[in-house]
Amino acid sequence: MIKILKKLAKKINHKTFFTSIALAVVAVTCVCTISFSILKYIDSHFQSAEQPGQKHAVDVSFETEYPFESEVEETALSSPDPSLVKSNVSVIDSVKDSINSYFTKFKDTIIEFSSEENIAAHPYYYLYGVVNRLLDRNVIENSESNVYRLEDGKLVYAKQCQSAKGAYSYFSDFADWLEKRNTEFLYVLPVSIDDDSVIDFPPRLKTGYTETSKELLEFLGEHDIKYLDAKPMLLSKNADFYNWVYKTDHHWNVQAGITVADKIVEIMSNDFGFNVDKSVCDIVNYKSVTYEDALLGSLGRKVTLGYTDAEDLEILYPTFETDFHIEIPELSLDKTGTFDETLIDLKYLDLPYYLIDNAYGAFLYQDRAMIRITNEKCKNGIHALVIKQSKANVVNPYLACAVEQLDLIDPRYFKGSIRSFVEQTNPDLVIICSYGPSSDSDTNWQLK
C-alpha cells in the first residue's frame, strides 16, 4: 500500500494528492457519523433491548403526579371535560407535527451521537491527546471547559465560576416554606476540583470558585440555614485534597462520600435530634474493594487515553447485614436485596471508556430523576429527601443505611413540583447536596 501511494505521489501534484487524502478522511468520517447516528436512532426508537449497565429508560410524567400549584389551580378552574371538546386540529396539521417531531429527534440524535459516541471520532480524539502529551502541553482546549494539567500530572477543569447571588433567594424561600411545615433543612456544599483556594492555578486561570462559594455560604448563614461545608471538614481529616477526589473526573470519590454521609448523620443526631444509629456510616464497618483501571472520568474523556491513564475505582461495602428496596420509575426498576444487589450496579464498570455513562454510574445507577430507597433493616421512622446532583451519588448509598426511607430527586431531570412532592411524601428532613444555582436563570433550582 505504501509503495502504491509513493508511485501515485510521484505522478500527481503533491498538493492535489494530500488534499485528496484529507477529503477522503473527511468523507469517511461523515459516512461513519451518519451511519452510526442512524443506527442509534433506530435502536432508541424501535428496540426495547436494555443497554449494558442500565435498564431501558422510559418517560415518566412526574409533572402529572406532582403538579405545580399554578397548574392545579388552572386545572380546577378552567379545564373543560375532554369528552365535550371537539378537536380543531386537522389531519394535515397532525401529520406535519408528527414529521417535525421525528425530524427534531433525529437531528438531536445525530448531534448527540456524533459528539459523544461516534466510534469513528475516537481515533482522532486519541491522536489529539497523544500530540498534546508529546508537546507537553498543560492546557487542553475543549468546546465546553478547558482541562488543565497540574505539575504532578493531575487534571482539573480551568473554567470560570459565575456568581449566582440573585438566585440564592430560592434557598431562603424554600427554607422558610419547610420551616412552616416543621421539616428540617440542611445544605451540603461539595468540594470542587476548580477550587482555587486549594489548587495552585496560574494567575490567568484563577477560577473565582473561592469567592462564589464564600458568597453562597455567607448568604446561608445570614438566613440561619444550617449548612455543611464539606471542604474544611474533609481536609481536617486528611489535608491532601486529592485523597478526596478522582484524578480523571470532576466528582469526589467514595472516601469523601461516606465521610460526608457520616457527618450528615452526626448533624441529624446532634443538631436536629433524630434518633439515628451513627455506627452505620462509620467507615470501620465497611470493606474496601478496588476495581483496577475501571474509571476514565469526565476530564479523562476530554483529553483521552492518549494523554492520561484510566484510574482505579473504589467501592465500600458494609460488613453488617443489609436489606433494601429500591424503586427507580424511569428505569422501571423495583428491586429488593442487599446493599451491593440494590444500590451498586457493577455493570457500569464494563462500559466503554468514552461513554458518558461510565464506572461512576455504579453508585445508584447514574443520575436519575427520582429514586426511592427503603431500608428494611432500619425502623427508626426517619424519612429524608435529598435534592441532588451527581456528586451526591457517592453519599446517598451510605446515608441510606442510616434512615428508614430515603428519597432522591435530581432537579435537572425531575420535571414535577418539588414542593408538591414534599407535600405528598412528608419527609422529616430535606437535604440539598449540590452547588445549587449556577446562574440567576437556573430554573432547576427554583425549588417550586
**The three cell numbers locating residue 421:** 412532592
Q: Are 260 and 402 in contact (CB under 8 A)?
A: no
Q: Is the dihedral of CA 40, 46, 49, 55 positive or negative?
A: positive
Q: Are 263 and 281 in contact (CB under 8 A)?
A: no
d(CA 118, CA 38): 11
d(CA 15, CA 304): 31
Rg of the chain in Å (alpha carbons)? 25
Looking only at the bridges linking them, the beta strands covering 227-229 and 184-189 are parallel
**Which helix (H) or strand (E) element contains residue 18?**
helix 14-46
Q: Compute CA distances 218 → 186, 197, 389, whole Å.
A: 15, 17, 22
Q: Are 141 and 132 in contact (CB under 8 A)?
A: no
Q: Which residue has the cell 468520517?
A: 29
Q: Considering the chain, what percentage of its residues have pLDDT values greater than 90?
A: 50
* Per-residue pLDDT tens over the stretch 24-35: 655 655 555 555
Q: Which residue has the cell 479523562?
A: 300
pLDDT for 372 equals 98
In 3D, which of 444, 443, 432 has the Cα closest to residue 183?
432
Look at residue 119 and give its three-state secondary structure. coil
User: For 353-419, what is the HEC assignment?
Assistant: CCCCCCHHHHECCCCCCEEEEEECCCCCCCEEEEEECHHHHHCHHHHCCCCCEEEEECCCCCCCCHH
Q: How much is the pTM? A: 0.79
Q: Work out the number of other CB atoms within 10 angstroms of the CB of residue 399.
A: 26
| Angle at the Cα of 445 from the Cα atoms of 144 and 234, rounded to 5 degrees | 75
Q: Work out the number of other CB atoms within 10 angstroms of the CB of residue 17.
A: 15
**Which helix (H) or strand (E) element contains residue 270?**
helix 254-270
Largest alpha-carbon pair distance within the chain? 86
Q: Which residue has the cell 389551580?
A: 73
Looking only at the bridges linking them, the beta strands covering 227-229 and 147-149 are unpaired
Q: What residue segments make up the domains of the chain, in order of their start? A: 2-35, 161-445
Which residue type, as a one-letter code, is found at position 392?
A
Please report how the helices 14-46 and 2-11 are oriented relative to each other, as an axis angle in degrees rounded to 10. Answer: 130
Burial class (CB in 10 A: 0-12, 13-18, 19+), 55: middle
Q: DSSP letter for 129, please.
A: H
d(CA 164, CA 3): 62
Burial class (CB in 10 A: 0-12, 13-18, 19+), 92: exposed
pLDDT for 41 equals 47
* Per-residue pLDDT tens over the stretch 51-100: 443 445 677 889 889 999 864 444 333 444 444 444 444 566 666 566 66
d(CA 391, CA 194): 14
Q: Work out the number of other CB atoms within 10 angstroms of the CB of residue 169.
A: 13
Look at residue 228 and give its three-state secondary structure. strand
Q: Which residues of the chain have pLDDT under 70?
A: 1-57, 70-122, 124, 142-144, 438-441
pLDDT for 83 equals 45
Q: Are 138 and 152 in contact (CB under 8 A)?
A: no
d(CA 21, CA 23): 5
DSSP symbols for 32-89 = HHHHHHHHHHHHHHH--PPPTTSPPP----HHHHS--HHHHHHHHHHPPPGGG-----
| β-sheet bridge partners, residue 407 | 372, 385
